Structure 1
Amino acid sequence: MSVAYTITFTLRRGQRERFLRLLTEVMEAMRHEATYRGATLHEDPGDPARFLLHDIWADHEDVVNVQIHRPYRQAWHEALPDLLQGERRIEIWRPIDA
């Protein structure tokens, strides 16, 4: 069963371009993963420092045990303390058949 993640980011002042560049690199790479299903990055229309990433994967265990450890994510993970004003808010959602 697929799993969706919503991740909210609030950026430090002056980090928008670096954030977008690094995240775009990760998103481009993950599109080639077999368990990837889709992702969309959203910007808060009232606050250009807030973003929401919504991504969908085929399997949660694959995400936590394999995907987040991919080498193409290393620069992204290392940069997060400098990019973000606080911790990311990560939520996990599972689809239901209505």
Structure 2
Amino acid sequence: MSETYVITFQVRPDQRDRFRALLDPVLDAMRHEATFEGASLHVDPDDENRFQLHETWKDRQDVLEVQLKRPYRSEWHAALDEILERPREVRIWSLLRAD
């Protein structure tokens, strides 16, 4: 069953452009993965440096064992400590219904 990873980022104000420059190519590459279902990136209307990413995947094992290790994610992951004010918050949600 599909799962959605809800990831919240608090970005350092001076790193906002870098955040997008590194994340956008990852999102573009993910859409070609066989177990990928969709993603959406949101920004908090009250805080331009707070983002939330929703990634939906078909298979958790594939995410953990394959997707997180894809080469196109390495630069993004390596930069997170510099880009973020605090560690990202990750929550996993299981799909119950889709209309």
Bin the TM-score by the shorter chain.
over 0.9
Q: Which residue of 2 aligns with 1:63?
A: 63
Deviation at 1:12, TM superposition (A): 1.0
Deviation at 1:32, TM superposition (A): 0.5
Separation in structure 2 between the aligned mates of residue 34 and residue 86 of structure 1, nearest angstrom: 32
TM-score by length of 1: 0.97
**What is the correspondence of 1:77-92 to structure 2 with a 5 Å cutoff?**
77-92=77-92
Deviation at 1:95, TM superposition (A): 1.0
Separation in structure 2 between the aligned mates of residue 26 and residue 13 of structure 1, nearest angstrom: 21
Deviation at 1:97, TM superposition (A): 4.6
**Which residue type is aligned with residue 68 of structure 1?**
L
**Which residue type is aligned with residue 13 of structure 1?**
P
Instruction: Tell whether 2:7 aligns with 1:25.
Output: no
Deviation at 1:38, TM superposition (A): 0.2
Q: Which residue of 1 aligns with 2:45?
A: 45
Q: How many pairs were matched up?
A: 98
Deviation at 1:51, TM superposition (A): 0.1
- Which runs of at least 4 in structure 1 moved beyond 2 Å after TM superposition? none
Separation in structure 2 between the aligned mates of residue 41 and residue 13 of structure 1, nearest angstrom: 18
**Which residue type is aligned with residue 3 of structure 2?**
V
Separation in structure 2 between the aligned mates of residue 13 and residue 31 of structure 1, nearest angstrom: 28
Pairwise CA RMSD: 1.1
